[in-house]
Amino acid sequence: MPLHPIRSAALAVVLLAVAFSPAAASAAPPWAPAASATIHPGVQTFTDGGQCTANFVYTGADGAVYLGQAAHCSGTGEATETDGCSSASLPLGTPVEVTGASRPGKLVYNSWLTMQAAGEDDPDVCAYNDLALIELDPADVAAVNPSIPTFGGPTGVGGDSATGDRVYSYGNSSLRGGITLLSPKRGLVVQTDGGGWSRAVYTVTPGIPGDSGSAFLDADGGAIGVLSTVALAPLPLSNGVGDLGRELAYAQEKSGIPGLALALGTEPFSATALP
């Protein structure tokens, strides 16, 4: 099955992989136990055949449950078309296959489509706002747990990052051939970009195509980002991670989803989960 490449806004070779405002909690459904849930952060999503990795679980005031993925996962243009204010995307309502779900979900929010409809003209927002939401079928909600595999959390929406801050992530690209020991990873922030809308990170192992959209946590277990890019220059094999606080605040304002909020993990966050 073809992999959707990780989107890159970096100069040079590209490998298509809120001001902070905390999300208000909405009433969460009873979650499945983390050990047995089949739908959770890190599962694979397939949008018109393009593979990505789900980041976090989100809820709405009406009881709906959503999985996050990168907006570029439903892009229809070339790999070099990375500006969300001009790049084409599949429409809302597009079915999305979710690993572990019995039925397809559907695309209900895409930052690219939303920015284009709103006439967004901030170049940093256009370049780095890369979040989409998949509404799960009600039949699959009972199989969901919002905890990040291996690390636990998220504990809430994190804030801005500084150079040297530690980060934690879980990618699940099929290119790893099912070697789950390579999925959890940790790393460091090496710079911030776009007025705080993105951060460049190095992780062991690096994010690869198919990891696109996966979750990033800070040292306190706060949800800070969504994997958007991997670049060969100027920082070889670094990953670009869009700022979740800003991306979620944008979605809360413009998606039309009432009570949209990040779902907190049921498992405690542990920064020492990896040796």
| Residue 23 predicted with pLDDT over 60 | no
User: What local confidence, expressed as pLDDT, does residue 29 receive?
Assistant: 87
pLDDT in tens, 101-148: 999 999 999 999 999 999 999 999 999 999 999 999 999 999 999 999
User: What local confidence, expressed as pLDDT, does residue 210 receive?
Assistant: 72
User: Which residue segments constitute the domains of the chain, with CATH numbers given?
Assistant: 44-262 (2.40.10.120)
How far is 233 from 12, CA to CA, in rounded Å?
Answer: 6
pLDDT in tens, 189-208: 999 999 999 999 999 866 66
Contact 168, 149 (CB under 8 A): no
Contact 212, 232 (CB under 8 A): no
* Model confidence, pTM: 0.88
Within 8 A by CB and 6+ apart from 207, the residues are: 6, 17, 169, 171, 185, 214, 227, 230, 239
| Residue 176 predicted with pLDDT over 70 | no
Within 8 A by CB and 6+ apart from 44, the residues are: 51, 52, 53, 54, 98, 99, 172, 173, 174, 210
User: What local confidence, expressed as pLDDT, does residue 238 receive?
Assistant: 86
pLDDT in tens, 207-260: 666 788 999 999 999 999 999 987 654 566 788 999 999 999 999 999 999 999
